[in-house]
């Protein structure tokens, strides 16, 4: 796990000035690799590298070269099948000077060029310079676990690449706000890829590689696609396949030359990982986080799990004071605003884990692969309406248009008559287009959310609605929210996070599951729970998902009310928002009775839209207004 910066200028010979610029950009991501720094400079490219030593600690330094220094590479991530690949390559004559997975990648690339990326099993962002052909290659892993950004320089002949966007934002020519990204952020609560909140800065998308030849533009090619092929299947057979494949994946993900632990919550996903990891390493350490507010921690089920599995556990409780003190720094680490409050406890969890281990396993991806979100039950409850013939739907719409908005059951009928392509845009939907029209000073209808979702739906018209929802979440929510906060919050503390569920072999099994063994009206992740029922502690098998709940809705009424109001007033975002609308939401939220509401929702609860705007405003202060200054010392100016 590491961080890198790359620069190519195909017309100008690069000198010390450019190398110094790369060094300054690299220092901004020192947290990604505090163990070692490396550089490679050719006439037209510079690579800068920060290393977090995990495998072959002594010899795995980068940039690394191969084939008499024809190929040079920087690489962030881990390749879990590198030993098998190394053996195959050795059998056909390739030799190695180190025991690192990075040298294996380069040898494979020397053998197969860009086709090599399809053979890699793991998480990765890669840059490779072919010195002989004067060509840059790069790739990002299938699920988008590792980030890879790029932007043009002052001329069309320059390109910059980086592991984190903050390195590119440091360039003087690259600081303007992307208005389209803001529109989409307000819908999704994150910026959908390949966009970023900064104009002309983009992400290489998951499952893509690129080639940059001299005199030509950057050409991206998709090498992997998450294709679902649900079959009738059998629960018992599928359960066995899941159990075997997941155990093998956890085993692969535990390859490490440094101490390794695991995150543990009260849900089945992390408990699966910890249970399987303990079989390999009985002394594995586990880490848990929560809040003092009742209902916002999972301490009791975690204690039961720890006792049942006999594993060591460290629990950290986050206070509202340190929450708000660290928030600007958290936003800085995220690069772009991500209005998922779960990023904050993850930051503190990673900080505590990093005191004990250098690598952690986590359960991200299980919900998207195996059908874990409660919203995936919706197609089942809506089936009496969604399966009506067209004539029946027209009749119901005729009746619906004459039913007042506040009548109980109207929303159910409306959703049942709405095609899923219009109804479901991913796991989070914050502001509607009508809401954005009221909120934004300059709303632009061209930036409608369907611009993001329609291309994905066009690929999956043949699938059932539950599987369509999984696919949409894989392509949007997982890579735009879940994996962004997972990578940034752990790397903020120089901690490597690995996700055994997001493995190509695990996906092959999950992709074939029939919807009836994923979700029913009473349960989610049916097949996964069945696969793990004889392995994980009994109190976890059927426990409902809670995740990393954060008491934002309570705090915005009390402890964070003044902070929120001051941020709204002080933020220099009047050119973007109608602030009176935001202040009105804050006051309305303050009036609701949370004691009479559930932890998940209540009438008049505006905490999600408020947090989306507040997160953006804080991002604006950090990256646009420069109220805070963060760098390698991590000290702010306020």
Is residue 99 a known part of a binding site? no
481: number of Cβ within 10 Å: 24
Is residue 362 a known part of a binding site? yes
Q: What span, in angstroms and rounded, lies between the C-alpha atoms of 77 and 495?
A: 12
Q: What span, in angstroms and rounded, lies between the C-alpha atoms of 583 and 224?
A: 45
The helix/strand/coil state of 416 is helix
Q: How far, rounded to the nearest angstrom, does the alpha carbon of residue 618 sit from its chain's CA centroid? A: 20
What dihedral do alpha carbons 582, 586, 589, 595 form, nearest 10°? 150
Q: What span, in angstroms and rounded, lies between the C-alpha atoms of 510 and 419?
A: 25
What are the two backbone dihedrals, phi and then psi, of residue 22, each rounded to the nearest 5 degrees?
-60, -40
What are the two backbone dihedrals, phi and then psi, of residue 344, each rounded to the nearest 5 degrees?
-70, -55
Length of the chain: 638
Q: Strands of 208-213's sheet, edge to edge?
A: 64-66, 71-79, 122-130, 135-140, 208-213, 218-222
The CA-CA-CA angle for residues 490, 496, 499, to 5°, reads 95
155: number of Cβ within 10 Å: 11
Q: What span, in angstroms and rounded, lies between the C-alpha atoms of 607 and 134?
A: 52
CB 269 within 8 A of CB 363: yes
Whose structure tokens read 């535990």?
A: 254
The helix/strand/coil state of 538 is helix
Q: Where are the alpha helices (DSSP H) in 77-139?
A: 82-91, 101-112
Instruction: Give strand ranges (E) for 142-239.
Output: 149-152, 158-162, 201-203, 208-213, 218-222
- CA distances, 447 to each of 181, 186, 349, 442 (Å): 8, 11, 36, 11
The CA-CA-CA angle for residues 44, 47, 49, to 5°, reads 175
Q: Strands of 158-162's sheet, edge to edge?
A: 36-41, 45-51, 2-9, 158-162, 149-152, 201-203
Per DSSP, what are the bridge partners of residue 201? 151
Active site residue 2: yes
Q: Where are the alpha helices (DSSP H) in 176-262?
A: 179-188, 235-253
> DSSP secondary-structure letter at 101?
H
Treating both helix axes as pointing N-terminal to C-terminal, what angle do 579-591 and 561-570 enclose, rounded to 10 degrees? 170
Among candidates 79, 86, 82, which has minimal Cα distance to 122? 79
- Known binding-site residue numbers: 101, 289, 362-363
User: Known catalytic residues?
Assistant: 2
- Known binding-site residue numbers for ATP: 289, 362-363
């Amino acid at each position: 796990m590491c961080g890198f910066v790359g620069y190519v200028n195909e017309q100008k010979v690069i000198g010390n000035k450019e190398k110094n610029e790369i060094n300054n950009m690299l220092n901004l991501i020192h947290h990604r690799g505090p163990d070692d720094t490396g550089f490679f400079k050719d006439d037209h490219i510079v690579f800068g590298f920060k290393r977090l030593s995990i495998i072959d600690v002594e010899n795995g330094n980068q940039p690394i070269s191969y084939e008499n220094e024809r190929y040079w590479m920087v690489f962030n991530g881990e390749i879990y099948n590198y030993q098998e690949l190394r053996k195959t390559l050795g059998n056909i004559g390739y030799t190695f000077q180190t025991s690192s997975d990075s040298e294996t990648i380069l040898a494979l690339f020397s053998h197969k060029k860009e086709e090599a990326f399809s053979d890699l099993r793991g998480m990765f962002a890669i840059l490779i310079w072919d010195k002989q052909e004067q060509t840059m290659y790069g790739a990002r892993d299938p699920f988008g676990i590792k980030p890879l950004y790029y932007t043009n320089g002052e001329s069309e002949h320059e390109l910059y690449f980086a592991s984190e966007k903050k390195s590119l934002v440091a360039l003087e020519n690259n600081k303007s706000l992307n208005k389209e990204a803001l529109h989409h952020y307000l819908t999704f609560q994150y910026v959908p890829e390949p966009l970023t909140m900064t104009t002309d800065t983009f992400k290489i998308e998951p499952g893509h590689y690129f080639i940059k030849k001299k005199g030509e533009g950057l050409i991206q090619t998709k090498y992997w696609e998450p294709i679902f092929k649900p079959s009738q299947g059998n629960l018992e057979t599928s359960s066995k396949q899941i159990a075997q494949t997941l155990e093998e994946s956890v085993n692969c993900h535990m390859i490490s030359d440094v101490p390794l632990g695991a995150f543990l919550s009260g849900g089945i996903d992390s408990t699966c990982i910890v249970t399987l990891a303990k079989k390999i390493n009985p002394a594995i350490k586990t880490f848990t986080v929560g809040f003092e507010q009742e209902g916002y921690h999972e301490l009791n089920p975690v204690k039961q799990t720890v006792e049942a599995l006999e594993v060591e556990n460290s629990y950290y409780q986050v206070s509202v004071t340190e929450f708000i003190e660290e928030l600007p720094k958290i936003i800085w680490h995220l690069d772009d605003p991500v209005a998922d409050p779960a990023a904050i406890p993850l930051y503190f969890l990673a900080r505590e884990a990093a005191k004990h281990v250098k690598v952690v396993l986590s359960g991200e991806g299980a919900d998207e692969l195996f059908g874990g979100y409660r919203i995936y039950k919706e197609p089942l409850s809506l089936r009496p309406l969604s399966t009506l013939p067209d004539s029946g739907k027209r009749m119901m719409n005729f009746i619906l248009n004459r039913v007042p908005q506040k009548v109980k059951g109207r929303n159910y009928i409306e959703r049942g008559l709405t095609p899923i392509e219009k109804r479901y845009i991913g796991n989070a939907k914050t502001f509607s287009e009508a809401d954005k029209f009221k909120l934004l000073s300059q709303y632009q209808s061209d930036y409608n959310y369907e611009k993001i979702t329609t291309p994905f739906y066009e690929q999956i018209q043949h699938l059932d609605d539950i599987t369509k929802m999984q696919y949409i979440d894989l392509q949007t929510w997982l890579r735009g929210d879940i994996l962004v906060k997972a990578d940034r919050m752990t790397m903020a503390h120089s901690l490597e996070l690995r996700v055994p569920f997001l493995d190509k072999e695990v996906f092959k099994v999950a992709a074939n599951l029939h919807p009836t063994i994923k979700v029913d009206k009473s349960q989610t992740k049916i097949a996964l729970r069945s696969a793990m029922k004889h392995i994980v502690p009994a109190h976890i098998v059927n426990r409902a998902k809670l995740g990393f709940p954060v008491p934002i809705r309570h705090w915005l009424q009390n402890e964070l009310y003044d902070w929120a109001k001051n941020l709204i007033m002080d933020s220099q975002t009047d050119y973007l928002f109608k602030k009176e609308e935001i202040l009105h939401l804050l006051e309305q939220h303050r009036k609701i009775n949370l004691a009479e509401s559930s932890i998940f929702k209540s009438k008049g609860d505006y905490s999600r839209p408020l947090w989306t705007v507040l997160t953006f405003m804080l991002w604006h202060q950090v990256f646009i207004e420069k109220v805070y200054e963060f760098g390698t010392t991590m000290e702010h100016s306020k």
